[in-house]
């Protein structure tokens, strides 16, 4: 059984259809890169998988760990080990990062039938996790994402990922807005968290991140569908040739026949 099995997924934002019959299968132990031009539906895919109510699923199925993902609430998905690293992490003023992280961590534990950890136990856990993303412990006392720089926000997402240890992590444009040092820190964190029993979907526009996170599979998403799948070399080919050679000159012009 695959960890994630997406078949014929269709989704709308408002009246506009963004995903138009997308298929994707991810197994444990794998890293998949989903690449594509702006507006191709990459972020929509990430948001739909996480269960954002702003996106309406109009067709297709998604099986996650053998369960019907689309029937699950966002929090159930998270509690079942799904994690979305947000492209635009949200600010929660007045709530400390430490408090928020512990609350989330404890929800995961509760879902697994384990006892909650108290703040002292949690501080020990955090010590190792902070090192993984090279983060100053002072960040834990700041309000969630509030006043963080773009790079700090992204690192904070990876910190959360390190704490929550997901089965399936989806990184939505985590590389955007990062300088090369931050990019390396983020990538090192992701690589360190890789295990045979988890999987990662890296959603990105650029090949750059894939120099640091080496994918097992690369998929090109355009106009709401996977146009082409391949190995890591496909990413390099895309870097070299752009997306146009796949989408027939203009992404906007890609019709149903292009698939």
Q: Which residues sit at the interface with another protein, rule CB under 8 A? A: 50-54, 73-75, 77-79, 83-84, 86, 89-95, 100, 103-104, 107-108, 111, 143-144, 160, 164
CB of 234 to another protein, least distance (A): 29
Residue number, 103 or 253, with CB nearest to another protein: 103
CB of 87 to another protein, least distance (A): 12
Residue number, 92 or 139, with CB nearest to another protein: 92
Helix (H) or strand (E) run with residue 210 in it: none
Residue number, 51 or 224, with CB nearest to another protein: 51
Q: Do 20 and 222 touch, CB atoms closer than 8 A?
A: no
Residue number, 200 or 251, with CB nearest to another protein: 200
Residue number, 144 or 218, with CB nearest to another protein: 144
Q: Which residues pair with 199 in a beta bridge?
A: 168
Concatenating the DSSP letter of every residue in 31-77 gives EEEEE--TTSSHHHHHHHHHT-TTSEEEEEEEEETTEEGGGS-HHHH
Q: Which residues pair with 61 in a beta bridge?
A: 7
CB of 42 to another protein, least distance (A): 17
CB of 72 to another protein, least distance (A): 11
Where are the alpha helices (H) located in the chain, listed in sequence order? 42-50, 74-79, 97-111, 119-132, 150-164, 180-192, 233-241, 244-247
CB of 117 to another protein, least distance (A): 14
């Amino acid at each position: 059984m695959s960890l994630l099995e997406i078949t014929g997924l269709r989704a709308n934002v408002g009246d506009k259809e963004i995903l138009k019959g997308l298929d994707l299968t991810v197994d444990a132990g794998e890293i998949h890169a989903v690449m594509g031009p702006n507006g191709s539906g990459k972020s929509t895919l990430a948001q739909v998988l996480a269960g954002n109510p702003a996106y309406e699923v109009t067709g297709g199925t998604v099986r996650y760990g053998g369960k019907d993902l689309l029937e699950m609430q966002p929090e159930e998905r998270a509690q079942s080990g799904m994690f979305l690293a947000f492209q635009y992490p949200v600010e929660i003023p007045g709530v400390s990062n430490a408090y928020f992280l512990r609350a989330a961590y404890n929800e995961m534990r509760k879902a697994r039938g384990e006892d909650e950890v108290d703040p002292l136990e949690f501080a020990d856990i955090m010590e190792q996790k902070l090192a993984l993303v090279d983060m100053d412990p002072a960040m834990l006392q700041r309000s969630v994402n509030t006043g963080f720089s773009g790079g700090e926000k992204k690192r904070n997402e990876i910190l959360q990922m390190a704490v929550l240890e997901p089965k399936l992590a989806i990184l939505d444009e985590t590389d955007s807005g990062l300088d090369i040092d931050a990019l390396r820190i983020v990538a090192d964190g992701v690589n360190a968290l890789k295990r045979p029993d988890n999987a990662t979907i890296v959603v990105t526009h650029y090949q750059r991140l894939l120099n640091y996170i080496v994918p097992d599979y690369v998929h090109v998403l355009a106009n709401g569908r996977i146009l082409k799948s391949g190995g890591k070399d496909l990413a390099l080919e895309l870097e070299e040739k752009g997306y146009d050679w796949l989408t027939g000159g203009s992404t906007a012009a890609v019709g149903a026949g292009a698939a």
